[in-house]
Structure 1
Amino acid sequence: MAAHGATDGILDDLDIAVLLPCYNEAATIADVVAGFKAALPGARIHVYDNNSTDGTALKAALAGATVTRERRQGKGHVVRRMFSDIDADIYIMADGDGTYDPEEAQDLIRTLLSEGSDMVVGTRRGVTEDAGRQGHAFGNAIFNRLYRMIFGTGFSDIFSGYRAFSRRFAKSFPAVSGGFEIETEMSVHASRLKMPVSELELSYGRRPEGSHSKLSTYKDGAKILWMFAMLMKETRPFAFFGLISGGVLAMSLGFMTPVLAEYIATGLVPKLPTWVLSMALMMISFMTFTAGLILDSVARARAEQLRIHYLTLSSVHQSRHQVTLARGEAVSQTTGRSGKRRAA
């Protein structure tokens, strides 16, 4: 399907899908769908309704979107379903709350193609205001800093919901998260497989009157923190278990030191239970460290398997090349038939 003139002709014949996960966004979804239809005339607009009770699905359908219902509550479940259901060359994912500008989808696609990326993140200009909620702004700053400490410096806004993906990203992404922590998992997945990724600073608006955020500062913050821990355990087990091992070893030495000092001074061990506890903690520390070493090898093997699967999927540039070849063959056949008719 062609995106007619969306990006100065370079997107002709590429299949583009706009994916909009929604939960109670009736106040904004019709305008969002209309905005993407105008910005990307050849794209397919898919709205995934996550048990909305305010007529979101009806308004999206009336606006011209294809509406699918996902009954399992949570954005992560919706994203997993979207990536499973939809086949496309390029995927644009945005929220249905009207805070992202549909016209800037063209810039995301241009960046995806020009830089050969598998994911482009639309970092949010003015995100520190976060639609007027300072708690979210503080959480964004803290979690982005924590992400860079644990997983590296590849991303500056891991919670942005405005992204462009290649097909091989979408079809290689396992999506195990259930809620808003799904964006973090996307970033870790790209870093783990060393995918080419890009960032593009885009505008970030406020919700219109009557639209309300579904985020809970403390509840969702705790979920994201837990997801950080789980992703670190899965992707960097040596560092994860090394930290635990170091902490337990420090406790062991803390209990052991006074007992050793008294033994050196008097030759006696009056606090035998403390000594036994310190030795047990030291054994646990060594076992945890060993587990980290073993699981690190397992994690590397899993990453290699994921990388091999990822490389079997065609990139956007390969899809464009195939379209160009098909177009050339069609032109040749048409020219050949025309020549035969003239000769006749």
Structure 2
Amino acid sequence: MTDERREISAEDVCILIPTLDEAATIGDVVDDFQELGYTNVVVIDGGSTDDTRKIAHEHGAQVLTQSGEGKGQAVREAVSYIDVPYVLMLDGDGTYDPTDAETMLEPLARGYEHVIGNRFADMDDDAMKALNGVGNRLINRSFRFIHGADYEDILSGYRAFTVDSFNRLSLDSDGFTIETELAVECVKHGVETTVVPVSYSARPEESETNLHPIKDGGTIILALYSLAKTNNPLFYFGSLGVGGIAAGGAIATYVLWRWLQYGVGHEILALVSAAAILLGVQLLMFGVLSDMLVTLHREQRRRLEQITRNARDQRPANESDRAFEYEDEGSEQRDE
């Protein structure tokens, strides 16, 4: 992040709205943004069976139908069509407040590359069920523990980001875990990220959710753990290694107890115990080595990015110097 502040106009921002059967709310969402001056509204639809696409088009949005399935695939496909530097992304269910757009975009003007809207800062009492609230907080704590960053609300669908930073991320999630993957990739690639408070309202009665708290929550937790493989390998392989050592130790304790208590030997269980402990130790060592490699890679990437930034900062001055030299040479030739 730099101290220099940039001016972001409405023409520099694309409002990106992934949808699936949001006919009840999408028209109002598009209208609200256009009234605020954001006329570049892109709705990418995942094959709605209602009138979502028709309504969005009638209200002035550019409508795309995604070629694949899932919110993650829709977002990646839509960003590839965007030709402005900034994206403000939100769901089309009417739960996010368009008037928070300035709050979301302001950090980008200060040099941040990714902004997350914290729903818990101003949430309606009936906006989230108790089970969903518990699950969200559990997921946020798990993210903080596994990936070492506190983004407060990693499942928030209200995001603002630069297209350049998005293109640096290695995203392959096709479903609703896209928000989780975005948060992990921001940590992994050192994307300057901040969190701002936003309002979060209850869904209108006529709008139905596509999420299933228990099933989807479990999927997100598994995604957090799986993504630790490349972002925090010491935790990923270390936890597997500790699990193997603990399991082998428990079996070994049982075998020893049976031999001391009854004089009964369990050769096969003893071999299983030894194998589990050996595998656990190897995984733990592999986790340590992987963590060293990831740390080295991040340091090298930071250095390369710094060199690139320095070269970019110096280029205009050098180019202008050459322009002056060329102009002087031309003047001398004309004088002759």
Q: TM-score, normalised by structure 1?
A: 0.79
Structure 2 equivalent of residue 283 of structure 1: 278
What SS does the corresponding residue of 2:155 show, helix, strand or coil?
A: coil
Cα contact 2:124–2:200 (8 A) shared by 1: no
What SS does the corresponding residue of 2:80 show, helix, strand or coil?
A: helix
Structure 1 equivalent of residue 115 of structure 2: 120
Structure 1 equivalent of residue 68 of structure 2: 72
Aligned counterparts, 1:50-61, within 5 A: 50-61=46-57
- 1:197 matched to 2:165: no
Candidates 30, 33, 39, aligned match of 1:33: 30
Distance of 1:298 and 1:176 partners within structure 2 = 23
- Tell me: CA distance 1:304–1:20, structure 2 relative to 1, closer, same or farther (3 Å): farther
Structure 2 equivalent of residue 228 of structure 1: 224
Once the two structures are overlaid, the 10-residue window that deviates more, 122-131 or 179-188, is 122-131
Structure 2 equivalent of residue 272 of structure 1: 267
- Measured after TM superposition, the shift of residue 129 of structure 1 is 4.3
- Measured after TM superposition, the shift of residue 98 of structure 1 is 0.8
Aligned counterparts, 1:155-174, within 5 A: 155-174=151-170
- Measured after TM superposition, the shift of residue 201 of structure 1 is 0.6
- Measured after TM superposition, the shift of residue 33 of structure 1 is 0.6
Cα contact 1:76–1:180 (8 A) shared by 2: yes
Structure 2 equivalent of residue 3 of structure 1: none
- Tell me: CA distance 1:159–1:127, structure 2 relative to 1, closer, same or farther (3 Å): farther
Letter in 2 for 1:286: V
Letter in 2 for 1:225: I
Cα contact 2:30–2:61 (8 A) shared by 1: yes
Candidates 215, 221, 236, aligned match of 1:219: 215
Equivalent pairs: percent with the same residue? 33
Distance of 1:313 and 1:206 partners within structure 2 = 45
Structure 2 equivalent of residue 46 of structure 1: 42
Q: CA RMSD in A?
A: 2.8
- 1:94 matched to 2:60: no
Distance of 1:34 and 1:311 partners within structure 2 = 42
User: C-alpha offsets along residues 241-286 of structure 1, whole Å, 9 cap, x if unaligned?
Assistant: 11111111122222224555788x79x8833223222211122112
Once the two structures are overlaid, the 10-residue window that deviates more, 13-22 or 269-278, is 269-278
Aligned counterparts, 1:241-260, within 5 A: 241-257=237-253, 259=255
Which consecutive residues of structure 1, in runs of 5 or more, have no partner in the other structure?
1-8, 323-344
Distance of 2:129 and 2:253 partners within structure 1 = 49
Distance of 1:183 and 1:95 partners within structure 2 = 12
Distance of 2:286 and 2:81 partners within structure 1 = 38
Structure 1 equivalent of residue 325 of structure 2: none
User: C-alpha offsets along residues 175-206 of structure 1, whole Å, 9 cap, x if unaligned?
Assistant: 21121111111111111122221111111111
- Tell me: CA distance 1:173–1:149, structure 2 relative to 1, closer, same or farther (3 Å): same
- 1:81 matched to 2:81: no
Distance of 1:66 and 1:294 partners within structure 2 = 49
Structure 1 equivalent of residue 171 of structure 2: 175
- Measured after TM superposition, the shift of residue 290 of structure 1 is 3.4
- Measured after TM superposition, the shift of residue 240 of structure 1 is 0.9
Distance of 2:236 and 2:213 partners within structure 1 = 26
Distance of 1:312 and 1:36 partners within structure 2 = 39
- Tell me: CA distance 1:309–1:91, structure 2 relative to 1, closer, same or farther (3 Å): farther
Letter in 2 for 1:195: V
- Measured after TM superposition, the shift of residue 74 of structure 1 is 1.2
- Tell me: CA distance 1:14–1:129, structure 2 relative to 1, closer, same or farther (3 Å): same
- Measured after TM superposition, the shift of residue 300 of structure 1 is 4.4
Distance of 2:53 and 2:307 partners within structure 1 = 36
Distance of 1:311 and 1:38 partners within structure 2 = 40
Cα contact 2:124–2:202 (8 A) shared by 1: no
Cα contact 2:169–2:189 (8 A) shared by 1: no
Q: TM-score, normalised by structure 2?
A: 0.81
- Tell me: CA distance 1:219–1:258, structure 2 relative to 1, closer, same or farther (3 Å): closer
Letter in 1 for 2:157: G
Letter in 1 for 2:97: D
Letter in 1 for 2:24: A
Distance of 2:280 and 2:92 partners within structure 1 = 48
- Measured after TM superposition, the shift of residue 293 of structure 1 is 3.5
Cα contact 1:95–1:162 (8 A) shared by 2: yes
